[in-house]
């Protein structure tokens, strides 16, 4: 019986065309065909990569990602980049209402309470650079799961080095002191200009703080100058 099940799953799993930086190919059946304009970064919330890989390759979990990067820096590809992995769930970024259809999902082997180690980050930078070149992505394309699903997701954690990513061209950042915002600047419109879904404004504000180093709170806790600075950088960057 086990042989029959394995054979059936193998027959249902299309050939995975590996990316050039994958150390290992472990096909997941959980995906559906689309085009790339975003990269969404997650953390696994596990103590090691094994349970995450079991979930991401289980046909009954209906969860997957294109890549998982282990703590040792091993890049495991799970879904072909041309296919729609099931990693973002109910999510939105700017005009993109189906993030799974427009993105590559990267899971990082991290429990959400630990620093991101050098081997993992070195592999992530190599992968992000490769994706940026091959898919012609701009700095606006690199976001976290919490950015596209505010109030529902909190990954990657506050320990994730978004500032360092932005310095390498993978995202936006503003250091203090922030310039004075324009007169009459509306924080909610600023969040919207960056890409946040405002169906839950306080959740969007919290996700902004998580990503950009601000206070973790609601709209009232945001520094308008900080939001205006990031929104200005988003407007100045090439479009997705």
Residues forming the active site: 107
For residue 171, cis peptide bond before it (omega within 30 degrees of 0): no
Q: What angle do CA 231, 159, 235 make, to 5 degrees?
A: 10
Rg (CA), the chain: 18
CA distance 212 to 215: 9
- Assign residue 103 a region: left if phi > 0, alpha if psi is -120 to 50, beta otherwise? beta
Three-state secondary structure readout of 110-168: CCCCCCCCHHHHHHHHHHHHHHHHHHCCCHHHEEEHHHHCCCCCCCCCCCCCHHHHHHC
Cα–Cα distances in Å, from 237 out to 62, 173, 193? 35, 12, 12
Q: Find out whether the peptide bond into 177 is cis, omega within 30 degrees of 0.
A: yes
Instruction: Determine contact, residues 40/144, Cβ cutoff 8 Å.
Output: yes
């Amino acid at each position: 019986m086990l042989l029959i099940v394995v054979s059936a799953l193998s027959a249902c799993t299309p050939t995975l065309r590996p990316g050039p930086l994958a150390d290992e190919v472990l096909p997941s059946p959980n995906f559906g065909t689309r085009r790339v304009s975003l990269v969404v970064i997650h953390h696994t919330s596990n103590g090691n990569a094994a349970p995450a890989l079991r979930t991401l390759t289980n046909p009954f979990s209906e969860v997957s990602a294109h890549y998982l990067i282990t703590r040792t820096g091993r890049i495991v590809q799970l879904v072909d980049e041309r296919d729609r992995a099931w990693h973002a769930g109910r999510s939105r970024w700017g005009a993109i209402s189906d993030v799974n259809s427009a993105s590559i999902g990267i899971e990082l082997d991290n429990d959400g309470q630990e620093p991101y180690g050098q081997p993992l980050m070195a592999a992530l930078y190599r992968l992000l650079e490769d994706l940026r070149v091959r898919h012609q992505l701009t700095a606006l394309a690199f976001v976290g799961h919490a950015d596209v699903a505010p109030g529902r997701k909190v990954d990657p954690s506050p320990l994730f080095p978004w500032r360092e990513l932005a310095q390498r061209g993978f995202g936006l950042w503003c250091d203090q002191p922030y310039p004075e915002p324009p007169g009459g600047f509306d924080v909610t419109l600023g969040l919207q200009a960056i890409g946040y879904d405002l169906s839950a404004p306080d959740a969007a504000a919290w996700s902004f703080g998580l990503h950009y180093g601000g206070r973790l709170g609601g709209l009232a806790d945001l520094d308008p100058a900080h939001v205006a600075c990031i929104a200005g950088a988003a407007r100045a960057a090439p479009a997705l």
